[in-house]
Amino acid sequence: MKNRMETARQILRDAAAEFLAREAGPQSLITVTRAELSSDFSHATVYLSVLPAEKAAAALGLADRNVVGLKKYLKDHTKLPRAPHIEFALEKESEVR
């Protein structure tokens, strides 16, 4: 059985991936690679991988502009204890498997 933190990370990662897939256009492929949460679930960092790499800055901007929508999506579609403050970051190439 997974612990509570790992389950919350997985829920956040999956929900962010669903939301961004819906919001993003066909210009790039945005993949949510992982999500990190603070121990009190108040802050989260969602890591993205983008193809083509030249579109990474635009994809990060799209994610940042839609953070309020993502928080609403989390409240409406998940059972997380709270919708955390969310920041997006690009996954480093060496960390992508």
CATH number at residue 72: 3.30.300.20
Within a domain: residue 50? yes
- The strand pairing partners of 7, in sequence order, are none
Secondary structure of residue 71 in the 3-state scheme = helix
pLDDT of residue 32: 96
Within a domain: residue 96? no
Within a domain: residue 97? no
Domain range enclosing 76: 4-91
Q: At what angle do helices 4-23 and 56-65 cross, to 10 degrees?
A: 110
Share of the chain above pLDDT 70, in %: 93
Within a domain: residue 87? yes
pTM: 0.88
**Structural domains in the chain (count):** 1
Within a domain: residue 48? yes
- How far is Cα 39 from Cα 6, in angstroms, rounded to an integer? 11
pLDDT at residue 64 greater than cutoff 90: yes
pLDDT in tens, 7-39: 999 999 999 999 999 988 787 899 999 999 998
Q: Which residues of 79-91 are buried (b: 16+ CB within 10 A; e: fewer)?
A: ebeebbebebebb
